[in-house]
Structure 1
Amino acid sequence: MPTSEFDLIYRYFSSLGAGPAVDLSVGDDCAILRLEPNERLATSVDTMVEGVHFPEDMFPEDIGFRAVSVAASDLAAMGARPIGMTVALTLPEADEFWINTFSQGIAQAVSEYRLPLVGGDTTRGPLTISVQVMGALPADKALLREGAQVGDLVYVSGTLGDAAGALAFLNGEWHPEPDAAEFLLQRFHRPRARVELGRELLGKATSAIDISDGLLADAGHIAAASGVSIDIECGRVPLSSALNSHPDSESKLKWALSGGDDYELCLTLPEEVPTPEGCTRIGRVTKGQGVKVDQDIDFTAGYQHF
């Protein structure tokens, strides 16, 4: 007898919906979430399509974790406290092994981000995962793309270019040593949304964005929204030792500046504010518009969806 949609939901996902902000979770027509007094709701949705946003042979557990991390990164960029999410899953077939393994990745992300799964949908079609996340913000605070001021310093969290380096390895364009390859693949398969950092930056950062489409493209969104120029010093852009093992310095820099998929934060801070832990200063906000770099290299604009 074919497995029904409701059997799949209850068997693999119904245990993931508990959380302090959840009044009603999976099992009814809607979930009910509770905000604290003087809080606002922040929400965002991200869709991943097989063969476009992840390789066709990617392990289902990694797909589940990555899908949640990508969406949770938007909460991090706003400084929001995670309160719940929904997952819409389109499957070519009801493969229970795949769904079981996928649900384990979702469960790991639920635990890591304290982001309960409170609802969703399943349907038949090409493999596609859409994750909608919901978070809470103080009534008077949020990290926005607008707000960067001339004289602010520009920072990024973590290291950049690792996901692009991993894709180069997967595509046979580079053959790093095993330890470096393992690190880069982990960074691509299991990105970590900087949720705690985002919350720490509330009331401190003048602007922020998560780096999904590449540093140049995403810093450009801050520049456009704020009406300023973002000037980047390429030598300051942080690279991992794994990425630095690549022999070509231009390739590494291109991956770091325009590769995308790292899901780190790019942010601006007034000069007097101390450097946040785990962040690196890479430039300054100046008068003008757009993003400027101090090296003459032919960079791509970042990931384009169409």
Structure 2
Amino acid sequence: MASEFDLIARYFTRAAPAGLLGVGDDCALFPVPPGEQVATSTDLLLEGRHFFPDVDPKALGHKALAVNLSDLAAMGARPIGCVLGLALPRLDEPWVAAFAEGFHALAAAHGCPLIGGDTTRSGHDLAISVTVFGAVPAGLALRRDGAQAGDDIWVSGELGAADVAYRLLDGQYPTDPALLAATRDALERPEPQVALGLALRGIAHAAIDISDGLLQDLGHVLKASAAGAALRYADMPVAAALAGVADAQLRRAVLGGGDVYQLCFTAPADRREAVLAVGRKAGARVTRVGEIQAEPGLTVLDAGGQPMAGLPRGYDHFPAD
């Protein structure tokens, strides 16, 4: 049986790019170009809460890094490298090999090499922690506190599919193999919008990634920016796979569903063509869904222009009673 160090050497050690010191020392070393700041983010994924025990390990390796790269995208930061913490209840080498394959493939695609981390034995379930490092020119980071009255509100990609897939797998919705097949990749293989985030520097006023639901995450932008917003439900980029889903389930998925890892951002109305252009260049669908207002509060308007009631809440690990 492989030892901990065999495991690291076999599946998680790769040659570090020039100028970086990666796996194999007490710390990783990486340079940051003059005039740039380091952007860093950490996410913890727990079996039974963030993923199901039967998840494809290659997909899980992909997602473990994708959720962090999405945070860099939301800040307009270029990936530099990442570290991985892996707590395994048992050593299953084929599983580890597939996980590492998915992780390294996404890391290579975004220039974010694995440069350190730790492995240990878990007493029960699988736990994964990833920390990413990025670089962004000083003063150009996309933040949550920059939204201004009159800004357009934009969303990248599509909404709703990940939430529906999660609820199908969790048994909250009746079994529907066709719908699950059409939505599962959205949940388990999200694609972080790194290229779009980089392209939005100097155009967008504020940005956030949609990990806990559109309304909740946009609410963080509004709070930080001391502003309000009006959204148009009819303009939401609903995932095509959700055609035929009941209205109540669809509204909850689109407005409150998490695990999307797309960007919600604001930009001046006179930069609409620029936003569309960078979206095309980045290969990302971008949709204008509302406007920032000076008066605090968040309203979602129906097709008739009337405020919708009973809006869904996003995800909260520690909800208040």
**What range is the shorter-chain TM-score in?**
over 0.9
* Equivalent residue, structure 2, for 1:285: 292
Code of the aligned partner of 1:268:
T
Whole-angstrom CA distance in 1 between matches of 2:197 and 2:308? 32
User: How big is each residue's C-alpha offset from its partner over 1:9-39, in whole Å with a ceiling of 9 and x where there is no partner?
Assistant: 0110102x5335x421111111111112211
How far has the Cα of 1:264 moved from its partner? 0.5
Structure 1 residues 290 and 18: CA distance shift in structure 2, 3 A:
farther
Amino acid at match of 2:214: L
Query: Which amino acid counterpart does residue 252 of structure 1 have in structure 2?
Result: L
Task: Write the distance in 1 (CA, Å) between the matches of 2:111 and 2:129.
Answer: 19
Contact 2:211/2:217 (<8 A) preserved: yes
* TM-score, normalised by the number of residues in structure 1: 0.94
1:202-259 CA-to-partner distances (Å, cap 9, x unmatched) read: 011000000000000000000000000021111111112101232x123112101001
User: Could you give the per-residue CA deviations for residues 91-111 of structure 1, whole angstroms, max 9, x where no partner exists?
Assistant: 111221221111111111112
Contact 1:224–1:290 (Cα < 8 Å) also in 2? no
Q: Percent identity?
A: 43
Q: Which amino acid aligns with 1:163?
A: A
Kindly state the Cα deviation for residue 199 of structure 1 after the two structures are TM-superposed: 0.2
| TM superposition score normalised by structure 2 | 0.90
1:50 alignment counterpart: 47
Determine the C-alpha separation between the residues in 2 that align with 1:46 and 1:291.
Answer: 28
Deviation at 1:287, TM superposition (A): 1.6
Counterparts of 1:56 and 1:49, CA distance in 2 = 10
1:269 to 250, 267, 270: 267
Matched position secondary structure for 2:316: coil
SS at match of 2:20: strand
| Pairing 1:34-113 to 2, within 5 Å after superposition | 34-113=31-110
Runs (4 or more) in structure 1 with deviation over 6 Å come to none
The superposition leaves residues 137-169 of structure 1 with CA deviations (integer Å, 9 ceiling, x where unpaired) of 002210000010000000000111110011132
Alpha-carbon contact 2:20-2:31 (below 8 Å) kept: yes
**Secondary structure in structure 2 of the residue aligned to 1:191:** coil
Give the partner amino acid of 1:65: H
